[in-house]
Structure 1
Amino acid sequence: MHPMLTTAVKAARRAAGIINRASQDIDALTVKHKSHNDYVSEVDRAAEQAIIDVLLTAYPSHAILAEESGAQGDSEFQWVIDPLDGTTNFLHGFPQYSVSIALLHKGQLNQAVVYDPSRNDLFTASRGQGAYLNDRRIRVSNRLKLAESLIGTGFPYRDFSHLDVYLAMFRDMLQKTSGVRRPGSAALDLAYVAAGRLDGFWEIGLNKWDIAAGCLLIQEAGGLVGDFHGDDTYIETGNVVAGNPKIFAQLLQILAPHLTPALK
């Protein structure tokens, strides 16, 4: 395992320890309302600080981009951190949430960790070295037909400006797939695509920390990731389509008729 990936795994496990302890008494947590349907707990902040402490102890000159504390430092190496992706699930005791850590080097995804504390599932990837679930190499699914595929997504919950477009996309996906799932942690959804548990995924307007690690996992597992045109702007726009190569192409075809000027 690459030394930087080893450090990221250590950081993710440190955060997971905080999350698992807090999950034993969720009612005791202090929760703040950041915006409509957007919450942050003391667990998010403590887990994020634990991750940053581990990373900067090992690599003090590296930059950080974290969901709760924002950007710090200036370096060609930048760690992108979501300490608890799926906070709403966590606060309801719904066991579908994750820790997501990615490393960008000169803007290119280089290392990735997505860790599911509830199931002790550790997804990892280093550029050019493949993707793994725990110690097992993983690959995207080999399904060829969208009609036989299980697709992941995320519902709009803060920004409803594209709600009508999303609902039109969702309607078509329901009719042309084997099923659509919305578990509530985009990082984990993307990891599931990498592991073949989902055949594809799409969502509008995600943040960099939601998707950075998961996207590298998919690429290293033989899948494709792009924006709604299949291009590589997804990290910046947050508009993401992912899947095995055959399903990726079919997803783009389903989504294309619904794209507004704001999404093109």
Structure 2
Amino acid sequence: MTDLSVPLEDIAVRAARGVGDPLRAAFAQAQQPSYKRDHHDLVTEHDRRTEQVLRAELLGAWPDSAVLGEEGGASGHGTVRWLVDPIDGTANFALGLPFFAVSIGAVVDDRLVAGVIYDVMRDTAFSATLHGAYRDGEPLRSTGPATDAQNVLITSYPGPGTLAAGRGVAEYTTLLREFGAVRRMGSTALALAYVAAGAGCAYAYGIHPWDVAAGALIVQQAGGRYLPLPADTERPWEAPGYLAVNGDFDLPGSCLTELLPRMLPGSAGPAAP
């Protein structure tokens, strides 16, 4: 296969940066979000508009491609498949928290080959090709502390469904006790970007391919570990969950090794007190 990763990364980075100014301008204005599944799942006119712009840019730059977007579904046909989240962290964007990103991953022959996570408010692009990972074009390495106590864990666990099932409290208590800090940041893509930069670990379940396609590649190419959950999936970006850790993290010595089987949906974890 011809190495398409470098030109595809360049296209993705240019497309993501191209929507930065409109998103920053929109962030400064009051938003009127609507809802998809429930009040936890916001969407704004800017999600839809940004995806339309990205879709046109990607298909125009590489006509032999298809786009799967969070808001607009699939369009186009071709060798390259783009996975696009126009605003990952819509709730943050809509409610005035400056922590959201544009995420674009590229798949060729069922392999992730390029991706970008664009931290809009910081004007910072985390990207990857098959040759490495980069932050604003400079090489990126996922180096960081090895132990739980020295690390931050970025997670959305436990979610409302887990708590409603009477689970998650005991596991979350352990995470709070063992990790240096536990954070709910509201953007899966940015969580992965910062793990790639060495900032601890990230765990999530109930995700979609456009949430993680770029981040999975960036973490791996930076020297970190991206573990799809369940682990036997053929396409890691399609797994419903993941654990990502920096390249120096001692996973066998982490409380996560014991807790993860109990944190997954359908597990027989202890009931909340």
TM-score higher than 0.5: yes
**Alpha-carbon distance change, 38 to 203 in structure 1, aligned in 2, over 3 angstroms:** same
Give matches, 1:18-167, under 5 Å: 18-25=22-29, 27=30, 29-36=31-38, 37-127=40-130, 129-155=131-157, 160-161=161-162, 164-167=166-169
| Structure 2 alignment gaps of length 5 or more | 269-273
> After the TM superposition, which of the residue ranges 106-115 and 241-250 deviates more from structure 2?
241-250
Take 1:7 and 1:179, find their aligned partners in 2: how far apart are those partners?
Answer: 36
Over 3 Å counting, the alpha-carbon distance change for 1:30 and 1:111 in structure 2 is same
Report the CA distance shift for 1:84/1:247 in structure 2 as closer, same or farther (over 3 A).
farther
Deviations 1:41-83 (A, max 9, x none): 1100111111111100011220111000012234342100000
Shift of 1:18: 2.0
- Pick from 171, 177, 180 the counterpart of residue 178 of structure 1: 180
CA shift for structure 1 position 251:
5.7
**Count of equivalent residues:** 259
CA–CA distance in 2 between the matches of 1:222 and 1:73? Answer: 33
**Conservation of the 8 A alpha-carbon contact between 1:141 and 1:199:** no
Identity level (%): 34
Structure with the bigger percentage of helix = 1
CA distance in 1, matches of 2:228, 2:48: 30
Structure 1 residues 71-80 or 7-16, which shifts more?
71-80
TM-score of the pair, normalised by structure 2: 0.86
* CA-atom RMSD in angstroms: 2.3
Counterpart Cα distance in 1 of 2:77 and 2:7: 21
* TM-score (structure 1 length as normaliser): 0.89
| C-alpha distance in 2 between matches for 1:210 and 1:261 | 19
Distance 1:133 1:260 in 2: 32
Instruction: Tell me whether 1:14 sits opposite 2:18 in the alignment.
Output: yes
Q: Structure 1: how far apart are the matches of 2:256 and 2:230?
A: 7
Unaligned runs of 5+ in 1: none
**Whole-Å Cα distance in 2 between the matches of residues 106 and 202 of structure 1?**
27
Deviations 1:119-159 (A, max 9, x none): 111101102x11111132111123221222111112466x7
Aligned pairs for 1:245-260 within 5 A: 245=247, 246-249=249-252, 250=254, 252-259=256-263
